[in-house]
Amino acid sequence: MWEHAGLAQLLTFTPLYNALPVHFYRLPSRRHLYRIGKKIGSGSFGDIYLGINIISGEEVAIKLESIKAKHPQLEYEAKVYKTLAGGVGVPFVRWYGQECDYNAMVIDLLGPSLEDLFNFCNRKFSLKTVLLLADQMISRIEYIHSRNFIHRDIKPDNFLMGIGKRGNQVNVIDFGLAKKYRDPKTHLHIPYRENKNLTGTARYTSINTHLGVEQSRRDDLESLGYVLMYFLRGSLPWQGLKAATKKQKYDRIMEKKMTTPTELLCRGFPSEMAIYLNCCRSLRFDDKPDYSYLRKLFRDLFVREGFQYDYIFDWSIQQRTADEAQKISELKSSAATGAPQQQPVQQLPRRKVLAQGEEDEAGLRDTTRGAAGSYQQAQQGSSSRVRREGQGQPQQWY
């Protein structure tokens, strides 16, 4: 179980002060010993493995990136994690450095991703579960933005549930594509630009991103809107489109996105879903979104639907039903044969697993987009509901 080709089984992680800025991490003087195990996931750059601290026995996640990578990003991602350290739902980086032929980052181990759980629940979430998730996900995105970064790859695979006492907490991961959108001291916003490459995952990227416009806070939130509708509908209208090349594929996805009105996309679901997306799309490039308004939009819907804040998600019910079915089956077997027999039951995914390949996955440098057309020109002049920079932060619900 505990093995990895090309890497010593026992990783002796010793602080590499010469390789990192002095202020980067304060590491204990003792050596960190981790044993690396099976692969449990993949990020924008590098693979993720299960690890164990052989001194304490604590399980961790270890993200590895070859030192020969054409575009190494793991050190950058570790720095972003450091900037975000202390935020609710942001895993803590325990160590970063070089080991053998790999850059390695040791980070908190989390539970299954929302994509894993979506599959576990037969690829459909109830409105209650989506609203419970939406509230936390908006808060995670707001926190990232408050620390001067945008994520740029909002998708179900990058949100993981916690484990143990934090099993109901949504965590955000994978900052390999994150970008600083403003100066931390002056809060001067990055300039508006066009002809940018498509960055992120095409299925969930905003329309402006497809058009080649520099991403900002509005794009993370628009992507979240597509994620929420994906959970409610089971799929999005632009999934499964065929094309000869990636560029043609992305162009078809963009065209379908632009020609699908939000009212049609959200048909059959509460009007708040379309209101949310329209609000995000109406934001100007450097607007600060009104996160409180967006949360309240969904909270009011949650209360109006008569839901309870009991944090019973769809997968909780699925697992409980499976457990009860197993007990009944065992009782019947015991009564018939005099000895209980184990029956296979569907179990919650324990870890974040490797995401299945998608045809609409976008890399960093896949295609170059032309100048943006009338869509973003209209967006630049549109009015929007925004919270200005000088106003206070809304209270955290989680």
Q: Residue 335: how many CA atoms within 13 Å on its side-chain side?
A: 6
| Dihedrals phi, psi of 208, to nearest 5 degrees | -60, -35
pLDDT in the model for residue 32: 62
The pLDDT averaged over each successive group of 10 residues in the chain (398 residues) is 39 37 33 83 83 92 93 95 98 92 95 97 98 99 99 98 96 97 98 97 98 99 99 98 95 98 98 99 99 99 97 90 70 65 59 44 43 47 42 35
Given a contact cutoff of 8 angstroms between Cβ atoms, the answer to whether 96 and 78 are in contact is yes
Six-digit token string for 34 = 């981790």
Domain ranges of the chain: 38-50+61-108, 112-320
pLDDT in the model for residue 316: 92
Instruction: Single out the residue of 116, 92, 173, 4 nearest to residue 353, CA to CA.
Output: 116
CATH of domain 112-320: 1.10.510.10
Instruction: Check whether 63 is labelled as a binding-site residue.
Output: yes
d(CA 126, CA 313): 9
d(CA 250, CA 256): 10
pLDDT in the model for residue 343: 54
Whether 153 is a known active-site residue: answer yes
d(CA 315, CA 331): 24
CA 86 to chain centroid: 18
Looking at this protein, which amino acid is placed at residue 158? N
Cα 114–Cα 120–Cα 124 angle in degrees, nearest 5? 75
State the catalytic residue, choosing from 108, 116, 135, 153.
153
Whole-model pTM: value is 0.80
pLDDT in the model for residue 340: 56
Task: Pinpoint the alpha helices (H) of 41-165.
Answer: 74-84, 114-120, 127-146
CATH homologous superfamily of 38-50+61-108 equals Phosphorylase Kinase; domain 1 (3.30.200.20)
Given a contact cutoff of 8 angstroms between Cβ atoms, the answer to whether 112 and 145 are in contact is no
